[in-house]
Amino acid sequence: MKTINVVQVASEMVPFAKTGGLADVCGALPLALEKLGQDVIIVMPGYKAVHNLKQPAVKRLNEGISISRIGKNINVYFIDNDEYFNRDSLYGEKTGDYKDNLDRFSYFCRKALELLKELGFKADIIHCHDWQSALIPIYLKTLYAEDDFYKDTKTIFTIHNIGYQGLFPKAEFPKLGLSWNVFNMEMLEYFDKINILKGGIVFSDLINTVSETYSKEIQTSQFGFGMEGVLNKRRDSVFGIINGLDYSIWDPSRDKKIFQTYSFKNIKDKYANKDQLQQISKLPVKRTVPLLGIVSRLAEQKGFDILSEGIDAICKMDLQLIILGTGDLKYHQILEQMVKKYPKVISLSLKFDDTLAHRIYAGADIFLMPSKYEPCGLGQMISLRYGTLPLVFKTGGLADTVNEKNGFVFDKYSKDELIKTIKKAIKVYKDKIQWNELMLRGMKLNFSWAESAKKYIELYERAKGK
């Protein structure tokens, strides 16, 4: 296979900065591509978190650029700018998104394109992820249209979540340095606002999302968040590639963050994790009671609307519930009230905590992920490997990975269906033989990156031929 030169441009990636699955994907895909012989570099913002990291080392390369390395030989370049990126959060605070996000990410995209020229890295493909890097395909087809350096460079735009589009007031348009010609309904305009994601869809050579089902769903008004029309126009260029999982991070047989390692060969050891998890969560240590875990952003997308409607009834069942997450204040408050009411049933950690996340995946019996929509979802894939049966709503990547042979699925989005499915799961939990069968089947599934990375290489080849 001929080597493809790929630049991954993203606003977060493991191990440098993470708020969600995007970081997992952008950290793992380059490694998988490198293993398949491709030449990869990465560009991301140099946040405060990046510069505070001890391992891997991040060094200043020159004014405004730092560098680190992952895998065997993958250079990671950070676009530095104290004013824009030396902040505690990536995108905003509890009160909302940073007001200057358009300045921040347009700066990031412009600098990324200049950096490639400085490095002399002639990319076959620039692979952009979500709206924060979507200005790159836009700039390439406008400001850089006549630039010889980029004449053979193609762009792939991956949509990890179409609910986040980068919407800004029209008045900010001049900041982008683009001609007003692109501010129209066919391009960057959306109901008199700037829509960066829409521009990414229009101007990139190929588009994909992170599961087959989601790539179809977003072309409908139910899931398209207003982008269904523009996506439909480009339907021959829209693909779906399921995310993989980085099993060097997510594997219970070698996970150093969990209390006791285990695999499908010694599944009993999983329950030592349950005991300890109950203990640190201040719940009664009891193996017979099913322990439900949630690791999630606390957002409506993740099913917290039906979950909070049904939470009182759920807490009355014979179960325990451990929730780790941050997000909408509304859900923080509802859940805090529930903890006061049912302190022996529900344990709540309103924070981002990677170690605790690993411990929940390992210690829980059931992983609750009733997302209203889910582009791919990593939580269910992680929990499958940890022998923690996922309970999901049938949508997007959840529909592509979970079924009644490895977990529990409901297909009508309502609190009643959620409650009914939890009841069913609890009933099955009492049948140890059936439960073990389900667990083992899930643990043996393989969502490794190798297959998905091959599909990305096919997509890159397809883009090169455009």
Closer to ligand ADP by Cβ: residue 296 or 395: 296
Which residue shows structure tokens 């994601």? Answer: 197
Query: With CB under 6 A as the contact rule, which of the stretches 118-126, 315-323, 349-357, 439-447 interacts with ligand ADP?
Result: 349-357
State the Cα–Cα distance between residues 359 and 341, nearest whole angstrom.
Answer: 25
H or E element that contains 449: helix 449-464
Among 249, 251, 85, 106, residue whose Cα is nearest residue 188: 106
**71-130 positions binding ligand ADP, by CB under 6 A:** none
Closer to ligand ADP by Cβ: residue 106 or 371: 371
- Kindly state whether residue 295 participates in binding ligand ADP, applying the rule CB under 6 A: yes
State the Cα–Cα distance between residues 405 and 413, nearest whole angstrom.
Answer: 21
Pick the binder of ligand ADP from 269, 309, 353, 461 (CB under 6 A). Answer: 353
Pick the binder of ligand ADP from 48, 216, 233, 297 (CB under 6 A). Answer: 297
Pair 276, 265: CB distance under 8 Å: no
Which residue shows structure tokens 């997450």? Answer: 325
The CB-of-14 to ligand ADP minimum distance in angstroms stands at: 9
| 173-177 contacts at long range (C-beta below 8 A, 24 or more positions apart) | 175/102, 175/103, 175/106, 176/102, 176/106, 176/135, 177/106, 177/110, 177/143
Interface characters, 369-408, with ligand ADP (x: CB under 6 A): -------xxxx-----------------------------
State the Cα–Cα distance between residues 1 and 140, nearest whole angstrom.
Answer: 27
Among 443, 445, 389, residue whose Cα is nearest residue 267: 443
Dmax (CA) of the chain: 68
The CB-of-156 to ligand ADP minimum distance in angstroms stands at: 19
Closer to ligand ADP by Cβ: residue 33 or 378: 378
Among 436, 453, 429, 368, residue whose Cα is nearest residue 402: 368
What residues form DSSP beta bridges with 55? none
Pair 432, 440: CB distance under 8 Å: no
The CB-of-427 to ligand ADP minimum distance in angstroms stands at: 27
Pick the binder of ligand ADP from 228, 275, 309, 354 (CB under 6 A). Answer: 354
Cα distances from 166 to residues 193, 243, 313, in angstroms, run 10, 23, 38
The CB-of-19 to ligand ADP minimum distance in angstroms stands at: 7
The CB-of-449 to ligand ADP minimum distance in angstroms stands at: 14
Pick the binder of ligand ADP from 20, 64, 71, 226 (CB under 6 A). Answer: 20
The CB-of-51 to ligand ADP minimum distance in angstroms stands at: 21
Closer to ligand ADP by Cβ: residue 138 or 324: 324
Closer to ligand ADP by Cβ: residue 83 or 336: 336
Q: DSSP for 125-145?
A: EEEEETGGGTHHHHHHHTTTT
Which residue shows structure tokens 């952009």? Answer: 128
- Kindly state whether residue 204 participates in binding ligand ADP, applying the rule CB under 6 A: no
Give the residue closest to ligand ADP by C-beta. 21
Q: In the chain, what is the straight-line distance between the N-terminal and C-terminal CA atoms, in Å?
A: 19
Q: How many residues belong to the site for ligand ADP (CB under 6 A)?
A: 19
Closer to ligand ADP by Cβ: residue 161 or 278: 161
The CB-of-431 to ligand ADP minimum distance in angstroms stands at: 29
Pick the binder of ligand ADP from 4, 7, 10, 24 (CB under 6 A). Answer: 24
The CB-of-375 to ligand ADP minimum distance in angstroms stands at: 7
- Kindly state whether residue 328 participates in binding ligand ADP, applying the rule CB under 6 A: no
Pair 72, 39: CB distance under 8 Å: no
Pair 359, 257: CB distance under 8 Å: yes
Closer to ligand ADP by Cβ: residue 7 or 295: 295
**144-163 positions binding ligand ADP, by CB under 6 A:** 161
Query: With CB under 6 A as the contact rule, which of the stretches 26-34, 95-103, 115-123, 320-328 interacts with ligand ADP?
Result: 320-328
Q: Kindly give the pairing relationship between strand 346-349 and strand 320-327.
A: parallel
Pair 386, 362: CB distance under 8 Å: yes
The CB-of-180 to ligand ADP minimum distance in angstroms stands at: 34
The CB-of-288 to ligand ADP minimum distance in angstroms stands at: 27
The CB-of-376 to ligand ADP minimum distance in angstroms stands at: 6
Query: With CB under 6 A as the contact rule, which of the stretches 75-83, 148-156, 350-358, 435-443 interacts with ligand ADP?
Result: 350-358
State the Cα–Cα distance between residues 413 and 310, nearest whole angstrom.
Answer: 12
State the Cα–Cα distance between residues 246 and 329, nearest whole angstrom.
Answer: 31
> Applying CB under 6 A, which residues contact ligand ADP?
20-22, 24, 161, 295-297, 324-326, 352-354, 357, 376-379
